[in-house]
Amino acid sequence: MFVKFCGLTRQEDADQAVRLGARMGGFIFHPRSPRGVLPAAAAALDTGPLLRVGVFVQQGAEEIKAVMAEARLDLAQLHGCQSVECALAVGPERVIRVLWPERYSHRALLYNDLRRHAEACAYYLLDAGLKGGGSGRRLEWLDLCRLRAPHPWLLAGGLGPDNVRAALNLCTPGGVDFNSGVEDAPGRKNADKMAAAVAAANPKGNGNMS
């Protein structure tokens, strides 16, 4: 089980993510998000060995690639309506494709979209709601039991130290994405909550991918 901390805006939170053995750190490039950062601000944050992920909602491929270069990003998390062609232009090996299971009336429809995007991403992220993210809402985890995706997938949606173990008892993602559930305020992580969340996600280890 690997860990991603999203919505990073402060060096102290990035440092804590590194200390806890997280695999990924996320920066949100959306001006309407309370956790949004500018590319230069993200570039200035030292994240050590973390894979640096940019969350993109409205941008097209050329803007995404420009921000990735300026902010020193490894991966682009496509959190909007970007097409398969956009993802291919960014580079499939650099894309996390976000899907919202609640949009689908039947699991077969979710599987269809997982397969449709498979050629144009390296990971999936499954989030709560019908769009956006960071709302603190949670998914119906049992609905994702035995989900077989073409690539590793991350579970998001209101996860924190108090509920991540319950989620992982019901479904088996490759990783978990923490954001609002480990914060004191948007963009201000709580170091103790971060540590407790990692311990709950990996009770016998740390947050690194095995």
Catalytic residues: 6, 127
Distance from C-alpha of 147 to C-alpha of 108, rounded to nearest angstrom: 11
Q: How far, CA to CA in Å, does 9 sit from each of 61, 84, 177, 195, 210? A: 24, 29, 16, 18, 27
CA atoms within 13 Å, Cβ hemisphere of 189:
28
Residue 54 tokens, joined? 């940019």
Residues 6+ apart with CB under 8 A from 185: none
Distance from C-alpha of 70 to C-alpha of 39, rounded to nearest angstrom: 6
Distance from C-alpha of 8 to C-alpha of 147, rounded to nearest angstrom: 29
